[in-house]
Amino acid sequence: MKSALFVDFDNVYSGLRKLDQAIADRFAHQPLKWMNWVVEALELPDHSPVNARRRVLVRRCYLNPQAYQRFRPSFNLAGFQIIDCPALTSEGKTSTDIHMVLDIVDLLQHEVHYDEFIVFSADADFTPVLRKLRRWDRRTTVLAIGFPSAAYRASADLLIDQDNFVRHALGFKDDDESPSPELPAAPATRTVDDRALAAAARILVEQTVTESPMPVAMAKLAAKILSTVDGMDASTWAGHGSFRALLASWNLTPLMITTAGGGTIYDPRRHTAPSLTTAVPKASIDTELTRITRLIEEEVAKSEMPVPCSRIASLITTQNGAIAADWNGKSSFRKFLETLHLGVLRVDWSAGGGCIFDSRRRISAPAMSSTSLNASAQNWGCDQELLPIATQVHEVSGIPLLPPVVYQTLFRNIAQDVAEQPFDLKETGKRVRDQIREVGHGVSRFDVNWILRGLLLHGHVFGRGEDDAHSLARMTANNVQSLCLREQMFLDARTDAAITRWLEGQ
């Protein structure tokens, strides 16, 4: 798949810098690292050709040389064409937007048919050009640091999750991202470098085949890896999307791989080559797909909460390894899942890794990214009348739908933590989450990080004397009101008062 990448450097770098200077510097100094991730590991947007591979033929970085000249060599070494966009006004406004739009439109009509346009910018001004690309049947992928507008998000075929970009593309690994206690229990995993996971899986495959007296089925190997290699996820397979793709990335010589009958791996020096049977009959495949669909329905039915996709992928791999080896030719679990007829079941990919839920239940899909998926069941106490407005604000702005008592605890713990230790987005978020869980409130890192990122992107600087709980709550309320106004939600006096009471406890 032919792709063109356009990087609004000033926008991305300044957004990352508000969150963490180290993250911003790695983005600026190591573009080759995250470019490799874009090419090799980033999923393809919806409706891409089956088994397509991304080729980024155009790499353009739009940069203000007056402020960021020092980063030019790094992008040169990563194969970028750098377009200088100096400030044109006394306020520092550059011509990046118009340059990018003109270049995108120019390539849209180029004799080379570019299938995908990748835009790194949170600037909602690019919404019209994304819509134009969609009308021309081109795929669009967007990285937006911060809180992009709903229209901008909806206009992109694929929105790169900024947390995944920081973890996987920039290499800021998080060793403590456990699932929320309110979600169905999934196999405990820890975030491990994809290369380390792949290396551990390869050693296990080679050892298993070497010790086996006969060829080993791929399904058996896949299940053994998932149960043995700590951190391996069946929905991602160390960034390769499927077990078969992971195998294809290795040179297992002298071992041989066959794909007939679900696939096997054998050592020709010790094993008799498996007979090359014909392809699995379509009727048999249909039966397997029906069994997988029933498995998903049963897992969702017996759970009161949405089921993480990683759990479903692991179950399918264990019980239907032949199909899970390459996800029935769809190359990734997500694309495979989209081919199944799940009836009333819905998949929400906004949560980390995605989750599946029954649409007949009273669970709001936009709330999937928060641990408060069943907010109405939580203890809102005397603040129950706030829930309808809070739900509407949550759906518009994305703020976690937590009860007022939890927000009061959250802001108190943030204030206490930054008073005792220097602020660090990653470490502060972990400590605050753990402290809140200790007093019995179910919150996730997503919930805490949403608030912390909102404060940082709204201009707050920790350590300058305004870190008390009341000030943090007031700034968060202001941020939420701004996000609602941006999405054209009418805020009357009653709604403003409800937001203030919800977040500030007044």
Tell me the three-class secondary structure of 24-67, residue by residue.
Answer: HHHHHHCHHHHHHHHHHCCCCCCCCCCCCCCEEEEEEEEECHHH
CA dist., res. 290 & res. 296, Å (int):
10
When pLDDT is cut at 50, 70 and 90, the band that residue 326 belongs to is low
Q: Is 42 in contact with 161 (CB distance < 8 Å)?
A: no
The 10 Å Cβ neighbour count of residue 423 is 18
Q: Which residues pair with 255 in a beta bridge?
A: none
Interstrand relation of 355-358 and 345-348 (parallel, antiparallel or unpaired)? antiparallel
Q: Give the CA distances from residue 112 to residues 1, 108, 116, 138, 156, in Å, rounded to whole numbers and listed in that order.
A: 12, 9, 12, 13, 22
pLDDT at 278 over 50: no
More confident residue, 3 or 368: 3
Over residues 318-335, mean pLDDT: 68
Question: What is residue 168's DSSP assignment?
Answer: I
CATH number of 2-169: 3.40.50.1010
- Compute CA 420 distance to the chain's CA centroid, rounded to the nearest angstrom: 32
Over residues 366-376, mean pLDDT: 41
CA dist., res. 31 & res. 364, Å (int):
38
pLDDT at 129 over 50: yes
When pLDDT is cut at 50, 70 and 90, the band that residue 121 belongs to is very high
Burial class (CB in 10 A: 0-12, 13-18, 19+), 122: buried
CA dist., res. 156 & res. 63, Å (int):
23
Task: Please measure the distance between the N-terminal and C-terminal CA atoms of the chain and give it in whole angstroms.
Answer: 54
- The identity of residue 78, as a single letter, is A
Q: Tens of pLDDT along 342-357? A: 888 888 765 455 778 8
Q: Is 106 in contact with 129 (CB distance < 8 Å)?
A: no
When pLDDT is cut at 50, 70 and 90, the band that residue 414 belongs to is very high
CA dist., res. 304 & res. 39, Å (int):
38
Residues of the chain with CATH 3.40.50.1010: 2-169
CA dist., res. 307 & res. 313, Å (int):
11
Per-residue pLDDT, 459: 87
CA dist., res. 287 & res. 461, Å (int):
58
Q: Tens of pLDDT along 232-241? A: 776 677 777 6
Tokens of 15: 């957004």
Over residues 433-450, mean pLDDT: 84
Q: Is 218 in contact with 322 (CB distance < 8 Å)?
A: yes
SS3 123: coil
The 10 Å Cβ neighbour count of residue 47 is 9
Q: Is 436 in contact with 456 (CB distance < 8 Å)?
A: no
When pLDDT is cut at 50, 70 and 90, the band that residue 179 belongs to is very low
Over residues 263-269, mean pLDDT: 83
Q: HEC string of 429-452?
A: HHHHHHHHHHCCCCCCHHHHHHHH
Over residues 114-125, mean pLDDT: 93
Q: Is 24 in contact with 17 (CB distance < 8 Å)?
A: yes
Per-residue pLDDT, 189: 35
Q: Which of 369, 333, 366 is nearest to 352 (CA)?
A: 369
Q: Tens of pLDDT along 182-217? A: 333 333 333 345 777 888 888 888 888 888 888 888
CA dist., res. 481 & res. 490, Å (int):
10
Rounded to 10 degrees, what is the CA torsion of 42, 132, 63, 99? Answer: 150
Q: Is 176 in contact with 444 (CB distance < 8 Å)?
A: no
Q: Is the bond into 404 cis (omega within 30 degrees of 0)? A: no
Q: Which of 246, 320, 334, 247 is nearest to 285 (CA)?
A: 320
Q: Which of 198, 236, 196, 243 is nearest to 221 (CA)?
A: 243
- Compute CA 249 distance to the chain's CA centroid, rounded to the nearest angstrom: 23
pLDDT at 107 over 90: yes
Q: Which residues pair with 159 in a beta bridge?
A: 142
Q: Is 8 in contact with 100 (CB distance < 8 Å)?
A: yes
Which of 21-25, 26-30, 137-141, 245-249 bottoms out in mean pLDDT, i.e. has the lowest? 245-249
Burial class (CB in 10 A: 0-12, 13-18, 19+), 426: buried
